[in-house]
Chains A and B, each alone.
Chain A
Amino acid sequence: MYRRLKDDLFVLFAFASALLAILPIFHILFSVFYNGIPVLAKYGVEFLSGTLPPPNKAGGGVFPAIYGSLTMIVLSLMLGIPLGVFAGVFIAEYPSSSISKAARTVLVIILEFPTILVGLFVMAVMVIPMGRFSAIAGAFALTIVMLPYVATYTEQAIRSVPQHYKEVGFALGLNRFRIVFSITLRIAKKVFITGLLIGMAKVSGETAPLIFTAGNVWRSTGALNEPAGAIPLWIYYLVQQPYSNYHEIAWGAAVVLLAIFLVIFLSARLMVRS
């Protein structure tokens, strides 16, 4: 009887903690959709294609921010995925080489680094020499932010595969490249893709590394070597303004950001399945 009670209490406690852990996520999702969807409905497609309206004027949209976000996300993925994957492969395959040891340390440091400092670093090495903020600098900062996630998960994926698969690969006369990319990483697809996903999630949601790099603009020419807007940057600046239509637009932009997030997330999930 007493034991039953103890078991039940334990289950109740575990359930309550789990609820407590996921509740904030639901709260965020709920408030974003609750406040944002009516905005999208009110502004219509112009919300995706238009530019920022003057204060307290109806209409307008967040196109420059979407454009900036997408270009910087795509650029940073194009740079960060290959770099991160190769770094992870190298660390896993040559664990005792001094380059691996150095790379591992650097990755841990980046991982623990406040992302705003990554932005400051890129400002020093790119923005100042170039003389202006740019989409490229923003993308580069995002690449640095995502690198350790992609590299670490790639390394973990390779390590999680039993050694004898690698051995049989060599025994069949395959080279290391083929073994890693056609066998090991395929067997550990789940861990590997999780790393890519977390990397993508990082670059699509980060604000801080963009502040000193992309600069932010409300209207852009679209050139990659010029300052760029980004959805999280817009949200960050718009909510600080005293105009109610800017607050509306910020909520709407949050829905767009979540949607981009979900599309990336779901397509990666589908990739894992197939």
Chain B
Amino acid sequence: MSAITIEKLFLRYGEQEVLRGIDLEIPENVCFAIMGPSGCGKSSLLKVLNRLVEMNHNVKISGDVKLFGNSIFKMDLTKLRRQVGMVFQIPNPFPHMSIYDNITYAVKCNGIAKKKEELDKIVEWALKKAALFDEVKDRLKMRANQLSGGQMQRLCIARALALKPRVMLMDEPTANLDPISADKIEDLITELKNEYTIVMVTHSPGQAARVSDFVAFLYMGRVIEVGKTEEVFENPKNELTERYVTGRIG
């Protein structure tokens, strides 16, 4: 079964049509990249998947999205968001909380764990999964805003993983990082995709080529081409895709 099935998805902000009929199948436990030039609707598409886009009052959606066979629009919102974690373009750990609290806050609010021993375990597990544990294990009580950008982003990944999601949405997770930190995140994604379905938005074809198994090229709200990453990059069927992957639109 696919992790995510998107069917005839249209999205408008007021009068502006941003997604114009998207159909996609996202298999389980792969890294699925959505690439395309800035403004083509990548973030909007990603935020449909955890229904975050509905925070905007002027948004209108039609079509359906299924998560492991169930329509997300008929699902309990909290349940959906526990299954679908998200990492943002700007590393945004809660700056007023410690590293430890950043991870445990939502765990506690969602009623996943309450006792200190359980929480300790979750924190260690999540930080290890996010390849951050060794760097911060002696200062878990430190404010999260004292970390470097790359560490902050990995903390955000740990915070999302702590809720035990099955899908991780990542919206240009390296766009605000230095190249070395960006590399680390890319390595981490390669690691995580064995256990999680990762949907990653990127405006860099190079990044899509490096880390994804499948890629969709989004242009002006439409999927121009989708397929196995190698095939799309080696043998683009559409001329627009070819121009994009060779850096001639962007």
A contacts, CB < 8 Å to B: 96, 162, 164-168, 170-174, 178, 182-183, 186-187, 189
**Nearest Cβ on chain B to A36's Cβ, whole angstroms:** 40
Q: Give the CA-CA distance A73 to B58 in the complex, in Å.
A: 43
A172 touches which one: B77, B96, B106 (CB < 8 A)? B106
Given contacts A162-B90, A187-B96, whether A167 and B55 have CB atoms under 8 Å apart is: yes
Contacts of A186 in B (CB 8 A): 94, 96
A174/B109 in contact, CB under 8 A: yes
Which B70-104 residues sit within 8 Å CB-CB of chain A?
77-78, 81-82, 85-86, 88-90, 92, 94-96
B94/A183 in contact, CB under 8 A: yes
B163/A172 in contact, CB under 8 A: yes
Q: Give the CA-CA distance A168 to B156 in the complex, in Å.
A: 9
Q: Does B105 contact A (CB under 8 A)?
A: yes
Q: Does B61 contact A (CB under 8 A)?
A: no
A168/B88 in contact, CB under 8 A: yes
Residue count of chain B within 8 Å CB distance of chain A: 25
- Name the prevailing secondary structure of the A interface residues: helix
Contacts of A165 in B (CB 8 A): 92, 94
Contacts of B159 in A (CB 8 A): 172
Would you list 23 pairs from A and B whose C-beta atoms are within 8 A, ordered by A residue? A96-B57, A162-B90, A164-B88, A166-B55, A167-B52, A167-B55, A171-B52, A171-B81, A171-B85, A171-B160, A172-B106, A172-B109, A172-B163, A173-B81, A173-B110, A174-B109, A178-B109, A182-B105, A183-B96, A186-B94, A186-B96, A187-B94, A187-B95
B92/A164 in contact, CB under 8 A: yes
Q: Does B50 contact A (CB under 8 A)?
A: yes
Q: Which residue of B lies closest to A183 (CB)?
A: B94
B106 touches which one: A162, A167, A173 (CB < 8 A)? A173
Contacts of A189 in B (CB 8 A): 96
A168/B86 in contact, CB under 8 A: yes
B105/A173 in contact, CB under 8 A: no
B94/A173 in contact, CB under 8 A: no
**Nearest Cβ on chain A to B141's Cβ, whole angstroms:** 15
Q: Which residue of A lies closest to B91 (CB)?
A: A164
Q: Give the CA-CA distance A162 to B91 in the complex, in Å.
A: 12
B contacts, CB < 8 Å to A: 50, 52, 55, 57, 77-78, 81-82, 85-86, 88-90, 92, 94-96, 105-106, 109-110, 156, 159-160, 163
Q: Give the CA-CA distance A173 to B109 in the complex, in Å.
A: 8
A170 touches which one: B81, B85, B94 (CB < 8 A)? B81
**Nearest Cβ on chain B to A100's Cβ, whole angstroms:** 12
Q: Give the CA-CA distance A174 to B156 in the complex, in Å.
A: 15
Q: Give the CA-CA distance A166 to B56 in the complex, in Å.
A: 12
Contacts of B94 in A (CB 8 A): 165, 183, 186-187
B96/A170 in contact, CB under 8 A: no
A171 touches which one: B86, B95, B109 (CB < 8 A)? B86
Q: Which residue of A lies closest to B95 (CB)?
A: A187
**Nearest Cβ on chain B to A63's Cβ, whole angstroms:** 42
B105/A170 in contact, CB under 8 A: no
**Nearest Cβ on chain B to A272's Cβ, whole angstroms:** 12
Q: Give the CA-CA distance A174 to B163 in the complex, in Å.
A: 12
Contacts of A167 in B (CB 8 A): 52, 55, 88
Q: Which residue of A lies closest to B86 (CB)?
A: A171
**Nearest Cβ on chain A to B237's Cβ, whole angstroms:** 34
Q: Give the CA-CA distance A178 to B109 in the complex, in Å.
A: 9
Q: Give the CA-CA distance A165 to B57 in the complex, in Å.
A: 18
B92/A170 in contact, CB under 8 A: no
Contacts of B77 in A (CB 8 A): 173
**Nearest Cβ on chain A to B236's Cβ, whole angstroms:** 33
Q: Which residue of A lies closest to B101 (CB)?
A: A182
Q: Give the CA-CA distance A236 to B95 in the complex, in Å.
A: 47
Q: Give the CA-CA distance A173 to B55 in the complex, in Å.
A: 13
Q: Give the CA-CA distance A81 to B156 in the complex, in Å.
A: 34
